[in-house]
């Protein structure tokens, strides 16, 4: 039982760090320059804004659940409380039920976020190319500066005028294609998110196993402690 308690304490510490990491990543994703630029520019018909806000709130709720599971498991280990152990197991199970759909969504919708971001850039770029809005020109310039890219390969004609007006001076001729830069940036970010989700799934499963084992250990040791005691009347 002592070995189980030590393992559960170490697991709880790792889960707490994972919860803090997920909260930090969710905050960076929601308030980061690259993501807020695209979110502010996107139209209501584009799916990116919904994904952007949903990912933030889901990440915060998931991180709070993991931190709560870690705190309850630590308290249950120290106090050897069956009630706290059961509550810790429930929080681990709740986090697991949230992590699995998130990982499955990332796997089955691997290109949806990338496509929605590139659709936003296409829309802004074409608006500037048609010279219908000076406000869009400022938005496109901000995107170019954030992603360190310049324009895109367009089949609708020469784009040098757009690039000269909206690209940073050093990126006009040597800048990378923005659609490719956006895709590469988001792919790296999503790969990191997927790796973090995988690690969190492993620790939540291990946490459920340890908390259930600790619950049974406390239960049976409590029964053995009472066994053989009699009340004299």
pTM over 0.95: no
159 touches 152 (CB < 8 A): yes
Q: How many CB atoms lie within 10 A of CB 58?
A: 16
pLDDT number for residue 199 = 94
pLDDT number for residue 22 = 94
Residue 155: inside a domain: yes
Residue 233: inside a domain: no
Residue 61: inside a domain: yes
Residue 87: inside a domain: yes
Residue 118: inside a domain: yes
Residue 41: inside a domain: yes
- Number of structural domains (the chain) is 1
Q: What's the domain range around 212?
A: 1-227
End-to-end CA distance of the chain: 36
Which of 110, 55, 77 has the alpha carbon at shortest distance from 11?
77
178: region left, alpha or beta (phi > 0 left; psi from -120 to 50 alpha):
alpha
Residue 50: inside a domain: yes
pLDDT number for residue 132 = 59
35 touches 142 (CB < 8 A): no
Q: To which residue do tokens 């004609």 refer?
A: 157
Grouped pLDDT means (10 residues each) for the chain, 233 residues: 78 92 93 90 83 92 95 88 90 94 84 88 86 79 88 62 74 72 90 92 93 84 50 49
Residue 232: inside a domain: no
pLDDT number for residue 133 = 63
């Amino acid at each position: 039982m002592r070995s189980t308690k030590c393992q559960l304490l170490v697991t709880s510490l790792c889960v707490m760090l994972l919860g803090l990491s997920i909260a930090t990543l969710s905050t960076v994703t929601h308030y980061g320059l690259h993501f807020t630029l695209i979110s502010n520019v996107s139209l209501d018909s584009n799916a990116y804004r919904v994904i952007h806000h949903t990912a933030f709130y889901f990440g915060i709720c998931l991180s709070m659940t993991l931190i709560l599971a870690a705190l309850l498991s630590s308290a249950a280990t120290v106090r050897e409380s069956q009630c706290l152990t059961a509550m810790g197991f429930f929080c681990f199970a709740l986090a697991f039920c949230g992590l699995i759909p998130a990982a499955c969504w990332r796997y089955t919708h691997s290109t949806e976020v990338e496509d929605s971001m590139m659709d936003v850039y296409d829309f802004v770029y074409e608006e500037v190319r048609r010279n219908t809005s000076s406000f869009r020109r400022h938005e496109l310039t901000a995107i170019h500066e954030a992603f360190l890219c310049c324009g895109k390969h367009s089949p609708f004609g020469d784009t040098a005028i757009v690039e000269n007006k909206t690209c940073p001076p050093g990126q006009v001729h040597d800048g990378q294609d923005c659609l490719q830069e956006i895709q590469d940036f988001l792919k790296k970010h999503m790969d990191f998110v997927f790796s973090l989700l995988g690690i969190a799934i492993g620790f939540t499963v291990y946490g459920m196993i340890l908390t259930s084992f600790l619950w049974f250990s406390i239960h049976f040791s409590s029964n053995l402690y009472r066994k053989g005691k009699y009340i004299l009347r």
